[in-house]
Chains A and B, each alone.
Chain A
Amino acid sequence: ILNVEQSPQSLHVQEGDSTNFTCSFPSSNFYALHWYRWETAKSPEALFVMTLNGDEKKKGRISATLNTKEGYSYLYIKGSQPEDSATYLCAFYGGSQGNLIFGKGTKLSVKP
């Protein structure tokens, strides 16, 4: 069973702080790494899909980097806002098509 680890489990920051989370995954048989944002009482929404070592993706104040050789990805949020409060999930595709395995997520709370 593939293991996808996310840290920290939870994070409390003040509005305006910048923050980052880590996703670790197996470095062999890499195909793609996904990031999702999951707000309470809603469904997960895709943020980024990253496939190449060294990939950097950006959407507004949120960005992500990928290192497939060492098996990690970082998600950065610049100038956190209360509306950024959510659980951020990463998911790993390894080898088998369709077999997308999720980490347990990092729960971010941003205080005004």
Chain B
Amino acid sequence: NAGVTQTPKFQVLKTGQSMTLQCAQDMNHEYMSWYRQDPGMGLRLIHYSVGAGITDQGEVPNGYNVSRSTTEDFPLRLLSAAPSQTSVYFCASSYSDARGYTFGSGTRLTVV
């Protein structure tokens, strides 16, 4: 049981490049979310999903796209990277609203 797996762990992008952060869970969780962590800002919700085929925007969705074609996977796409997207990104999943979330180990992204 691997839990929530995020790849890559580290990434450096040039401004304007695109990339996809991968997130996979093997716990059959319906709920999956992406957060970014910035100094002094805590965890901010980017996008979330309550099941395959269902996604919604969180607090800071601009510049990011998501899709949820399977229960297991919830990739986060950066369309055109900007230095403001330099951050640590966490994927998390849960059975439901009333259960705690399991977090991945994070992806540290630097945009130069």
Contacts and interface: CB of A to CB of B under 8 A. Distances in A.
Given A36-B101, A99-B58, 6 more contacts: A49-B100, A97-B97, A98-B49, A100-B48, A100-B101, A104-B42
A47 to B, nearest CB: 8
A21 interface: no
B48 A99 contact: yes
B86 interface: no
A71 interface: no
The number of chain B residues touching the other chain, given as a range, is 20 to 34
Contacts of B100: 34, 36, 46-49
Contacts, number: 64
Interface of A: 1, 31-32, 34, 36, 43-49, 51, 89, 91, 93, 96-105
Nearest to A9: B40
Contacts of B50: 97-98
Interface of B: 31, 33, 35, 40-45, 48-50, 56, 58-59, 90, 92, 97-106
- By secondary structure, the A interface counts as strand
B98 A51 contact: yes
A98 B98 contact: no
A61 to B, nearest CB: 19
Contacts of B43: 44, 89, 91, 102
Closest 4 CB pairs of A and B: A46-B100, A104-B42, A43-B103, A102-B43
